[in-house]
């Protein structure tokens, strides 16, 4: 059984492979991923490597993290995505482009951050993905999603 089959059978639903031809920034050796929704639903998804079962990233919808979030694609980005549309600002809930941002968790003090500076864009028609760098924006790579001081939820890291 290949790793892909294994991942697909674990998750039980139809998973379309995504090719990040340039890899993710700093993680250039991983190209092939699947984007998985949680069986129980919810706004977060898992971007899982098809090359290494241990390698995965949690992603969120950046428009949920920041309602007025603005993503601009460069000419280089649309080429990588094989996207036919013009470069420029991409509207939320785009028909063809799936936009997400990587979530990371700090344990001490507990905090959840979203990388709004380097969002992920996947062209659903071509199955190609790219990590965009919004160089002209003032977005942070560590945008706080939950203020540790106000978070009443117990650290999920401890429960794992």
Partner 1 sequence: MLVLGRKPNESLLIGDDIVITVLSVEGDRVKIGISAPGNVRILRQELYDAIKEENLRATKLAAPANEALLTSLQDLFQANE
- The residues of the shown chain that bind partner 1, judged by CB under 8 A, are 24-27, 38, 40, 42-44, 46, 54-58, 60, 64-65, 74-76, 79, 87, 102-105, 107, 112-113, 115, 117-118, 131, 133, 135, 141-142, 145-146, 151, 153, 156-157, 159-160
Q: For residues 152 and 58, give the distance between their C-alpha atoms in angstroms, rounded to a whole number.
A: 21
73: how many CB neighbours lie within 10 A of its CB?
23
Q: In angstroms, what is the minimal distance from the CB of 111 to partner 1?
A: 11
Q: In angstroms, what is the minimal distance from the CB of 70 to partner 1?
A: 16
User: Residue 120, SS3?
Assistant: strand
Nearer residue to partner 1 within complex by CB, 96 or 103: 103
Distances (CA, A) of 11 to 37, 38, 138, 148: 9, 9, 37, 32
Nearer residue to partner 1 within complex by CB, 46 or 126: 46
With beta carbons less than 8 A apart as the criterion, state whether 141 and 115 touch: yes
């Amino acid at each position: 059984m290949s790793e892909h089959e294994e991942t697909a059978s674990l998750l039980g639903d139809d998973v379309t492979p995504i090719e990040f031809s340039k890899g993710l920034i700093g993680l250039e050796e991983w190209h092939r991923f699947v984007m998985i929704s949680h069986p129980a639903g919810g706004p977060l998804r898992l971007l899982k490597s098809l090359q290494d079962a241990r390698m995965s990233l949690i992603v969120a919808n950046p428009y949920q993290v920041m309602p007025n979030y603005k993503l601009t694609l460069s000419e280089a980005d649309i080429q990588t995505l094989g996207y036919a549309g013009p470069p420029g600002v991409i509207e939320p809930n785009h028909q063809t482009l799936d936009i997400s941002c990587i979530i990371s968790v700090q344990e001490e003090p507990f905090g959840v951050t979203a990388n709004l500076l380097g969002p992920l864009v996947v062209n659903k028609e071509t199955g190609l993905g790219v990590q965009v760098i919004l160089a002209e924006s003032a977005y942070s790579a560590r945008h706080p999603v939950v203020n540790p001081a106000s978070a009443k939820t117990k650290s999920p890291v401890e429960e794992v």
